[in-house]
């Protein structure tokens, strides 16, 4: 059993609500262990590369699936799931925040292709399904080059809709809880129209995703394109980039190194955290469902950022101090998904408790630190200053 450093082993069975969830949990632990062993064997000189096991599907069941942002944090977990299910998967990424090593296990597999491409440019391929994930999602990353972030959401989605229209593929957009902005209603359901700043630092992402959603429904109405829209709430797990800059990776990395845990503002703002494995189940269910309205995918387990910092300190067993830095502009004061729609139309709800997901994520970052040395998480304005000095970079 994974250990909670203050309270001994965590009783996973008690934390997971039913037997199906427990079975999935055990299967994913076994899958991860198999991948780890295979990766170790593959690293030996002269070894013929081995791959994780995949289902054998009949040709009629096997789908050709494009995942944009396929080497990113969420994308790589989705690729993993689809490959294990036995489909043919094309992972497309520009490697701005994605990393080749996230999909390393599949490189060379006959069902898998990794494509270096930026979705702002059109891409032609014959596929049955498109998961359009490509876009930096962490505030310091998406604010690094706001013009490029807008282009990625708008032109990227336009290109994928054009592809879906031509090939008659079904296309799923990963939208975000950020479309609700700093919400006046709590929890947020899909019917809430949001309170987003039009000109603030987060607008490039929030408004980019809002336009992307609008385009999805315009293409459905005008051209009959088969669409799905997921609104993803805060998600964490393995394969997050150590420089991601979001709260989960920052706090864990700081705690593991005994550095100060940096709360932006008073820490009374809230977030609700979902483990990536649950999100991937929701995305696959949504893609294969008949429902084409926007659907929230998140875990309603809500914490203040102060409570969350204290939980990480306790779980890592660190001597780190919790410190307060100035709050970031337009930071939403609270966020919690209403997931009744997902429960009703997809039969989906999160299965993995936040603490269980955090145990795995802490282990992942422990290994990353051993592998690559020290990390200093990115601060909110660090990248912005960089791009301001190099104006016009990379648009």
Ligand X SMILES: O=C(O)[C@H]1O[C@H](OP(=O)(O)OP(=O)(O)OC[C@H]2O[C@@H](n3ccc(=O)[nH]c3=O)[C@H](O)[C@@H]2O)[C@H](O)[C@@H](O)[C@@H]1O
Q: Is 271 in the site for ligand X (CB under 6 A)?
A: yes
| Binding residues among 100-129 for ligand X as defined by CB under 6 A | none
Identified binder of ligand X from the candidate list 154, 215, 247, 346, rule CB under 6 A: 247
| Contact status: 175 vs ligand X (CB under 6 A) | no
Nearest CA to 323 out of 346, 338, 337, 305 is that of 305
Query: Smallest distance from the beta carbon of 377 to ligand X, in angstroms?
Result: 6
H or E segment and range at residue 141: helix 139-142
> Distance (Å, rounded) from C-alpha 138 to C-alpha 239?
14
Residue 4 has φ and ψ, to the nearest 5°, of -95, 120
Q: Which of 336, 330, 322, 318 is nearest to 380 (CA)?
A: 330
Judged by CB under 6 A, which of 175, 269, 296, 299 binds ligand X? 269
CA-to-CA dists, residue 74 to 260, 277, 380, angstroms: 28, 9, 22
Segment near ligand X (CB under 6 A); pick from 109-117, 217-225, 242-250, 359-367: 242-250
232 counts as binding ligand X under rule CB under 6 A = yes
Structure tokens at 214: 């609008």
205 is catalytic: yes
**C-beta closer to ligand X: residue 271 or 353:** 271
List CB contacts of 67: < 8 A, sequence separation 6 or more. 75, 78, 79, 82, 89, 90, 91, 92, 130, 131, 133
Catalytic residue among 123, 205, 219, 275: 205
Query: Structure tokens of 170?
Result: 């079904």
CA 161/CA 212 separation, integer angstroms: 10
Rounded to whole angstroms, the Cα distance separating 365 from 361 reads: 6
Position 241 contacts ligand X (CB under 6 A): no
Q: Does 78 interact with ligand X (rule: CB under 6 A)? A: no
Provide the mask over 274-313, with x wherever binding to ligand X is found by CB under 6 A and - wherever it is not.
-------------------------------x--------
| Interface positions, 302-361, toward ligand X (CB under 6 A) | 305, 328, 331
178 binding ligand X? (CB under 6 A): yes
Stretch that binds ligand X, among 22-30, 113-121, 189-197, 231-239 (CB under 6 A): 231-239
Q: Which stretch binds ligand X (CB under 6 A): 30-38, 120-128, 176-184, 192-200?
A: 176-184
Binding segment (CB under 6 A) for ligand X, from list 17-25, 99-107, 114-122, 262-270: 262-270
Is 246 near ligand X (CB under 6 A)?
Answer: yes
| Residue 197 binds ligand X (CB under 6 A) | no
**Contact assessment for residue 313 and residue 320, using Cβ atoms and an 8 Å cutoff:** yes
Q: Which residues fall within 8 angstroms of residue 164, CB to CB, at 6 or more apart? A: 130, 170, 171, 219, 225, 226, 227
Query: How many residues make up the chain in this entry?
Result: 395
Q: Which residues bind ligand X (CB under 6 A)?
A: 137, 139, 176-178, 205, 232, 234-235, 246-247, 250, 262-264, 269, 271, 305, 328, 331
């Amino acid at each position: 059993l994974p250990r909670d450093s203050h309270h001994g082993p965590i009783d996973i069975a008690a934390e997971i609500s039913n037997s199906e969830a427990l079975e999935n949990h055990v299967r994913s632990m076994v899958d991860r262990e198999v991948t780890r062993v295979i990766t170790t064997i593959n690293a030996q000189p002269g070894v013929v590369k081995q791959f994780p096991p995949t289902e054998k599907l009949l040709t009629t069941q096997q789908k050709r699936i494009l995942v944009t942002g396929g080497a990113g944090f969420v994308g790589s977990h989705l690729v993993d799931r689809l490959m294990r299910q036995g489909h043919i998967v094309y992972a497309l990424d520009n490697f701005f925040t994605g990393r080749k090593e996230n999909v390393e296990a599949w490189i060379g597999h006959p069902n898998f292709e990794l494509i270096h491409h930026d979705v702002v440019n059109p891409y032609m391929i014959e596929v049955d399904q498109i998961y359009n994930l490509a876009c930096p999602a962490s505030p310091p990353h998406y604010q690094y080059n706001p013009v490029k972030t807008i282009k990625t959401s708008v032109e990227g989605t336009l290109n994928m809709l054009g592809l879906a229209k031509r090939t008659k593929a079904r296309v799923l957009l990963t939208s975000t809880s950020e479309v609700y902005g700093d919400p006046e209603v709590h929890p947020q359901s899909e019917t809430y129209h949001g309170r987003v700043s039009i000109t603030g630092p987060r607008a490039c992402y929030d408004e980019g995703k809002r336009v992307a959603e609008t385009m999805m429904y315009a293409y459905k109405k005008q051209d009959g394109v088969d669409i799905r829209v997921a609104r993803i709430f805060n998600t964490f797990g393995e394969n997050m980039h150590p420089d991601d800059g979001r709260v989960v990776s920052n706090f864990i990395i700081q705690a593991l190194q005994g550095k100060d845990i940096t709360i932006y503002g008073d820490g009374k703002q809230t977030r609700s955290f979902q483990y990536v494995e649950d999100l991937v189940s929701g995305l696959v269910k949504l893609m294969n469902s008949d429902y084409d309205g926007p659907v929230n995918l998140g875990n309603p387990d809500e914490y203040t950022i102060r409570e969350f910092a204290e939980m990480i300190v306790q779980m890592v067993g660190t001597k780190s101090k919790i410190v307060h830095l100035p709050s970031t502009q337009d930071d939403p004061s609270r966020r919690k998904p209403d997931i009744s729609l997902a429960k009703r139309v997809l039969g989906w709800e999160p299965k993995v408790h936040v603490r269980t997901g955090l145990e795995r994520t802490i282990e992942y970052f422990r290994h990353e630190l051993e592998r690559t040395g020290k990390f200093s998480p990115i601060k909110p304005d660090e990248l912005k200053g960089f791009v301001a000095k190099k104006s016009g970079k990379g648009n």
